[in-house]
């Protein structure tokens, strides 16, 4: 670990695609930090300040979040609008290769970048990564869709009350759809308390709410639960209709992968409280067609299957599971996280 706190500098970088807001700290081999849905680069502030010598941390706000230019998200490209943005940031900074630390949906961004530009990825830390088949609407470890229109995924799966309160920048803690309640009850495992909760809430509330950002559009479906993906916005970009990382198993060269997750993650899980299949099974969404037609999405198992295929083709991955931890191990167990991640980054900084 570093022997003193690193100063973090906020900078806007003009790329060929858009202006990206970044936080930077340290000097040396570049490490790009990529955040997840409904957050921003602020989620990595603590990690940046403690980054070891010899590493240059660069955390960016993806399009639709924070202070990056809010260009629309074309979901029909999967997450390539965001992964191409990250590649363009590397170009603007003169970086041919980098290490990556990617959280939640950000892992999907970086794995897509690795599919398109494997030579640019020196090593990859996946923290609570989104499934390689996105979020919602698939039935098994191979990503088979429950319905042919991918109903149960996309922009229509977002809670409308949460979306409105996000748009209103509601800072209250009233009700379970308040952004603060989601942050403290789902991003981490209660009763964990964030020392910087207000800054983290600012990060959540920096999400741009619109049809072309969060959550995006949706289409009606004749299939349960009645909504299918639209073609714009972040939630549609990781619908399995458009998003499929199966090709990651065959990339060359093959960067080493460190996969870290919490045992009590309620967002990315084989029993996710944000997955319509699991919510239907629990009785929270009426009309569930049953386990045979629409089982809970096995998100973690899908990731493991892909990484096992990666290993079978010569790649290397290591899985670490943090006990009594939710969706954000780097926030909930920072020292344990850093004891694993910092040596990995130092080893692969070449």
- pLDDT, one tens digit per residue, over 111-165 is 999 999 999 999 999 999 999 999 999 999 999 999 999 999 999 999 999 999 9
What DSSP designation does 232 have? Answer: B
| Helix, strand, coil shares, percent, the chain, to 5 | 35, 20, 50
pLDDT per position as a tens digit, 22-77:
999 999 999 999 999 999 999 999 999 999 999 999 999 999 999 999 999 999 99
Say what the pLDDT of residue 2 is. Answer: 44
Neighbours of 97 (CB within 10 A): 16
Helix (H) or strand (E) holding 59, with range, is: strand 54-60
Q: Taking 60 as the threshold, does the pLDDT of residue 225 lie above it?
A: yes
- State both tokens at 188: 């981490």
Say what the pLDDT of residue 284 is. Answer: 96
Q: Per-residue pLDDT averaged across 261-287, rounded?
A: 97
Tell me the H-state helices in 50-104: 80-93
- State both tokens at 300: 């973690």
82 pLDDT band, cuts 50/70/90, is very high
Neighbours of 235 (CB within 10 A): 29
Q: Taking 70 as the threshold, does the pLDDT of residue 180 lie above it?
A: yes
CA 202-98-346 angle, to 5 degrees, is: 95
Neighbours of 21 (CB within 10 A): 20
Q: How many Å apart are CA 69 and CA 62, to the nearest integer?
A: 9
Distance of CA 308 to the CA centre of its chain: 21
Q: How many Å apart are CA 161 and CA 206, to the nearest integer?
A: 17
Give the closest residue to 107 by CA, choosing from 93, 137, 86: 86
pLDDT per position as a tens digit, 290-315:
999 999 999 999 999 999 999 999 99
Q: Please state the CATH superfamily assignment of the domain spanning residues 9-347 in this structure.
A: Alpha/Beta hydrolase fold, catalytic domain (3.40.50.1820)
Mean pLDDT (the chain) is 97
Whether 46 and 190 have beta carbons less than 8 Å apart is answered as no
Say what the pLDDT of residue 295 is. Answer: 98
**Domain residue limits, the chain:** 9-347
Say what the pLDDT of residue 4 is. Answer: 67
- Catalogue the E-assigned strands of 142-210: 209-210
In the chain, pLDDT over 90 holds for what percent of residues? 98
Whether 238 and 130 have beta carbons less than 8 Å apart is answered as yes
Say what the pLDDT of residue 247 is. Answer: 98
In the chain, pLDDT over 70 holds for what percent of residues? 99
pLDDT per position as a tens digit, 266-278:
999 999 999 999 9
Q: Taking 50 as the threshold, does the pLDDT of residue 15 lie above it?
A: yes
Q: Taking 80 as the threshold, does the pLDDT of residue 3 lie above it?
A: no
Q: How many Å apart are CA 13 and CA 18, to the nearest integer?
A: 8
Q: Taking 90 as the threshold, does the pLDDT of residue 1 lie above it?
A: no
Handedness of CA 20, 23, 29, 33 (dihedral sign): negative
Which pTM value belongs to this model? 0.97
Q: Per-residue pLDDT averaged across 82-97, rounded?
A: 98
Q: Per-residue pLDDT averaged across 332-341, rounded?
A: 98
Q: What is the DSSP string of 108-141?
A: HHHHHHHHH-GGGEEEEEEESPPPTT-SSSB-ST
Q: Per-residue pLDDT averaged across 258-270, rounded?
A: 98
- State both tokens at 89: 């940031």
């Amino acid at each position: 670990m570093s022997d003193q706190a690193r100063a973090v500098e906020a900078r806007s970088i003009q790329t060929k695609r858009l202006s990206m807001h970044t936080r930077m700290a340290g000097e040396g081999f570049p490490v790009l930090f990529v955040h997840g849905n409904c957050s921003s680069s602020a989620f990595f502030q603590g990690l940046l300040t403690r980054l070891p010598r010899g590493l240059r941390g660069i955390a960016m706000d993806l399009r639709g979040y924070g202070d990056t230019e809010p260009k629309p998200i074309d979901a029909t490209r999967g997450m390539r609008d965001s992964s191409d943005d990250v590649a363009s940031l590397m170009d603007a900074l003169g970086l041919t290769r980098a290490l990556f630390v990617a959280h939640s949906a950000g892992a999907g961004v970086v794995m897509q970048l690795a599919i398109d530009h494997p030579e640019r990825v020196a090593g990859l830390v996946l923290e609570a990564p989104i499934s390689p088949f996105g979020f919602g609407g698939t039935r098994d470890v191979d990503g088979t869709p429950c319905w042919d229109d991918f109903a149960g995924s996309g922009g229509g799966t977002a809670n409308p009350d949460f979306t409105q309160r996000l748009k209103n920048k509601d800072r209250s803690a009233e009700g379970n759809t308040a952004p603060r309640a989601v942050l403290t009850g789902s991003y981490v495992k209660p009763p964990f308390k964030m020392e910087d909760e207000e800054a983290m809430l600012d990060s959540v509330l920096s999400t741009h709410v619109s049809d072309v950002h969060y959550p995006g559009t949706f289409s009606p479906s004749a299939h349960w639960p009645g909504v299918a993906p639209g073609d714009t916005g972040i939630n549609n970009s990781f619908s399995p209709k458009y998003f499929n990382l199966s090709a990651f198993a065959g990339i060359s060269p093959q960067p080493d992968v460190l996969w870290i997750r919490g045992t009590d993650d309620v967002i990315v899980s084989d029993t996710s409280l944000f997955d319509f299949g699991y919510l239907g099974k629990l009785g929270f969404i009426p009309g569930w067609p049953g386990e045979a037609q629409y089982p809970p999405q096995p998100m973690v198992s899908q990731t493991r299957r892909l990484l096992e295929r990666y290993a079978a083709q010569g790649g290397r991955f290591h899985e670490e599971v943090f006990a009594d931890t939710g969706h954000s191990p780097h926030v909930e167990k920072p020292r344990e996280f850093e004891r694993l991640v910092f040596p990995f980054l130092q080893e692969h900084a070449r």
